[in-house]
Amino acid sequence: MPAGFTYIMGSNTGTLYIGVTSEFDIRIKQHKEGAFEGFSKKYGCTRLLYYEKYEDIRTAIAREKQLKGWRRKKKLDLIRTLNTGFKDLAEKLDWRLITRHERMDM
């Protein structure tokens, strides 16, 4: 099984989106570009606020389901454990968010 990531994206107005992926850099770039129709694009969830990495995607999926069941306050408290200023971690960590095509060229 591939590794997996559970993550929380946020909008400038405070809307939160919780997701899971095995291709973290690609998925975050897709959120930032609004590549897919749906909740995160509709509400402008383009800022990476929190993430967790797991060795097995199935564990990440279970964690995503758990977080989605939490109340908003508990989600915000979790974000604060990693990101007290609610900054965009993708920018703060200076990650290079690449496409699948770019990765294959590496």
Give domain limits for the chain.
Answer: 4-105
Percent of the chain predicted with pLDDT > 70:
86
Q: Tally the residues of the chain.
A: 106
How far apart CA 79 and CA 50 sit, in angstroms, is 6
Tokens found for residue 64: 């995503």
pLDDT digits (tens, 9 = 90+) for 39-88: 999 999 999 999 999 999 999 999 999 999 999 999 999 999 999 999 99
Which CATH superfamily, name and number, covers 4-105? Answer: GIY-YIG endonuclease (3.40.1440.10)
pLDDT at residue 103 tops 50: no
Q: What is the DSSP letter of 14?
A: S
Nearest to 20 by CA among 12, 33, 31, 11: 31
Report pLDDT for 100: 44
pTM of the model: 0.86
On whether the CB atoms of residues 72 and 10 are closer than 8 A, the answer is no
The angle formed by the CA atoms of residues 98, 99 and 102, to the nearest 5 degrees, is 85
How many percent of the chain have pLDDT more than 90?
A: 74
Q: pLDDT band for 34, please (50, 70, 90 cuts).
A: confident
Give, as one character, the DSSP assignment of residue 21. Answer: E
At residue 81, φ and ψ (nearest 5 deg) are -65, -25
